[in-house]
Structure 1
């Protein structure tokens, strides 16, 4: 459907942004920050102190640009991001179909393992890790299956509040050197820091879930360009919050680990190592609080993916059905798809088949595989957003400007390099 037809010749009333409506951005940002991202930030702080702080700041700016472009596409055109991809050619449908199936299988196990780790540490001598993982997967399934977006948003806001307060509290407890921290805002590349720099810029704050942002703003009731100012406020607040969170983790890594020359294990296991360090230095209360924050970060990612990516899959299935029926546009909106068979089918795919992977001897290796799959998606998202938002598919007034194009292009190059580096770094 041409953009001009969607706009209908009447300009929607521009809504005034208000803090009371903030929500979808918090959901997408919280979903994108998981155990692997926390460990990556901690490791960067432990190896290089505050030197790479500037990379975390740039990473947040790039994520704001990506999420804003995704949201603007949904609001300006009235079409979903998958509908936009489909207009670019059949190859995008094939790419998404393969990616979403493989990614979902790997991510399901990764999310369950990461959510299980803090629970096992909080309640030792109760269950093996894999059984905690199964429990968290079933809890996520039951919660998303029985609730609509409004309830998902509320619980995600609670999780974000918990993990934010806990991590910032711990960062304050370690007594950061603010002078050293400010010097980290000057871009530098210490020896051996390139991969860590790329990881900080591109790895924290979302992969395929960034494409789900448009579906969540539609679920919120933001369906036309009149909501664009509200969307931009929502997006900026969310990623500024994420930025503070990432900086706090970098401070913890720099002060607790870099100064003591301590190393972390791979994946979510590294956060348990930090728990031991916190217990030794500040006592069990602080270490237990950190485990609660660790669980909030991991389980919020699980819930966000279970809901957001299932919505995307349901949209994909609706387009495939419409195409087979000879139609141009699928029937039904976001709210109808929350109760559709494809939505619930993908929920089951995320939950049950990945449980097989929990019996692997090294479940933390799943975090590496998940990171690589995520790196493959981000260049695809950035490039297709540039394509869509500079074409006649988008009304002229809402196409990309030079700043948005520049940030998306920088993100596309960065994510492509990060993807290659992550593959090269694998122990083949």
Structure 2
């Protein structure tokens, strides 16, 4: 029998320990490349150009909070063997409300990813020796991403991202050696200093560095890595490894943030540029100031943005796939569903290629993302508290999470002025809608539709009620130039859900007809879209036997996407594209939010009424069983 030497045993143990240390590194590096690219080009480069290195302390504060956020997510995932999205479903409130809104935001962010690929195409354009249109470069990049992700293999995807991280680290290390770094200014940048002139940049950096809701995707990749097996027996040891890996990952994020801040600082004093133009400006600036390093820096920027889109699509597809199967009851096989979501996301990105000013789309999507991220921070504390005592976070972790979540919520509300100006007042107007829905649900008319005995007279009343509600949605909207920000489509969709496509179309004719009578260059597409909304609501009801918040959220966003992203552009082809884009960026996010809120309010009122009705029926049955002469009608 061959003897095993002590050195061989030691070597084997060393390799095993190294393998254990590196096992969890993949998911955190995927997260690192995803969040670095999304925030670097847009906010961090702009902050460096506007404020130099003076806000480095803000970056440090943001990374500390988001490190704690990611650590809490990892602890839940390893302790339970579930993704964080399963845990979020346990937060009190309407069923699945958290994952519903996260799904909406993840879907909307695909439009922003089209902007990232266009920017990446700008970078690559500088390196190609022959003339290829930037749009073609972006389309080819998207096609390559679809091919890479099509198999849905996590291992293949992880190896690709790890290779990208290595290329980026080498490329941007070389970038820093090519740039002039004033170390005195860098050191001073870590000294906290508040000045009114850069308050907006402080708020922007707190949200941008380390990203926001994207951190939740870390749980998905960690779940894939572990195969969904909980690590309850050796959780403390696994969490020690996770702490080290998170330090590496967030160190990479800090490094990438510093690179983009430095590039922006070297371009300090330049006039404000839109995001796509910023990509051109960065490329041109690098070519002029450090020409010998320019090709590597520009290529690294393209790799970063491509890696951001690859990891962003994969993480969101896996997350939405899990949410649809768990919360939505979708019975499609995981791999097939992943591919369907991948194709859907790709179609949205492809559509975004033809929409100018991608920075506005990214900004409007972040309106809701930043607020929800802060709310989820408090939700993570709640979820952690429900774990067994030995698996819960420390007091230091709780303090960091509570302080950070409160600060982020305040900043999100202060920064996102458009939501305060338009979105919240629209929700306030929905209070009237809630009152109407409350009385309708309790009426004999609603009961007739529940029992399937509605008459033509009932149909007429249904159309009138929700047609007038559609008119009210226009009357109580906001006028922005020639555009009315409204919730006109809500009435016809509800009529369709209750009475079918005919009722929805008829209510849409009332609401759409009133909108058309007001005139304006958007009158015709808005009127047509209102009728289409009612028909879609009726068709959806025929396919869905039961309504859930997730289904209604998909319906609400889908209706507004058809209205604003399809019908509206088709019927305004003769008008300047800039005006069309302005309408889209002003209306789509806010109107989608309000539409979803209105539909879910209806579901909540209906469910509450059904529960009360079932309780009354149970009480009546019990009392009749005890007293055969009991008549509930006499008591009424």
Change (3 A) 1:396 1:191: same
- Counterpart for residue 142 of structure 1: 147
Change (3 A) 1:103 1:135: same
Kindly indicate whether the alpha-carbon contact (under 8 Å) linking 1:109 and 1:357 is maintained by their aligned counterparts in 2: yes
RMSD: 2.7
- Counterpart for residue 164 of structure 1: 169
Q: Deviations over 1:327-368 (max 9, x none)?
A: xxxx9xxxx84x2x3222221121013322221233343332
Change (3 A) 1:282 1:37: closer
- Counterpart for residue 415 of structure 1: 408
- Matched residue count: 396
Alignment of 1:131-210 (within 5 A): 131-210=136-215
Kindly indicate whether the alpha-carbon contact (under 8 Å) linking 2:57 and 2:192 is maintained by their aligned counterparts in 1: yes
1:344 to 306, 322, 339: 339
Distance 2:392 2:72 in 1: 9
1:40 to 32, 43, 59: 43
- Counterpart for residue 361 of structure 1: 356
Alignment of 1:230-379 (within 5 A): 230-254=241-265, 256-258=266-268, 261-263=269-271, 265-283=273-291, 285-320=292-327, 337=334, 339=335, 341-379=336-374
Kindly indicate whether the alpha-carbon contact (under 8 Å) linking 2:276 and 2:357 is maintained by their aligned counterparts in 1: no
Kindly indicate whether the alpha-carbon contact (under 8 Å) linking 1:208 and 1:374 is maintained by their aligned counterparts in 2: yes
Change (3 A) 1:167 1:263: farther
Unaligned runs of 5+ in 2: 1-16, 420-581, 587-636
Change (3 A) 1:110 1:412: farther
- Counterpart for residue 8 of structure 1: none
- Counterpart for residue 3 of structure 1: none
For 1:23, what is the secondary structure of its paired residue? helix
Unaligned runs of 5+ in 1: 1-14, 326-330
For residue 373 of structure 1, report the CA deviation from its aligned partner. Answer: 4.2
Which protein has the larger Cα radius of gyration, Structure 1 or Structure 2? 2
Change (3 A) 1:122 1:199: same
Kindly indicate whether the alpha-carbon contact (under 8 Å) linking 2:217 and 2:315 is maintained by their aligned counterparts in 1: yes
Change (3 A) 1:34 1:372: farther
Change (3 A) 1:111 1:203: same
- Counterpart for residue 9 of structure 1: none
Distance 2:91 2:293 in 1: 51
For residue 160 of structure 1, report the CA deviation from its aligned partner. Answer: 1.9
TM-score when normalising by structure 2: 0.58
Alignment of 1:391-406 (within 5 A): 391=386, 394-406=387-399
For residue 89 of structure 1, report the CA deviation from its aligned partner. Answer: 4.2
For 2:162, what is the secondary structure of its paired residue? helix
- Counterpart for residue 83 of structure 1: 86
Higher relative contact order (CA 8 A, sep 6+): 1
Kindly indicate whether the alpha-carbon contact (under 8 Å) linking 1:28 and 1:206 is maintained by their aligned counterparts in 2: no
Q: Deviations over 1:69-123 (max 9, x none)?
A: 1110011122221211112246362343344245424234234323323223333
Change (3 A) 1:72 1:245: same
Change (3 A) 1:90 1:139: farther
2:64 to 61, 66, 86: 61
Runs of 4+ in 1 over 4 A off after TM superposition: 425-428
For residue 147 of structure 1, report the CA deviation from its aligned partner. Answer: 4.5
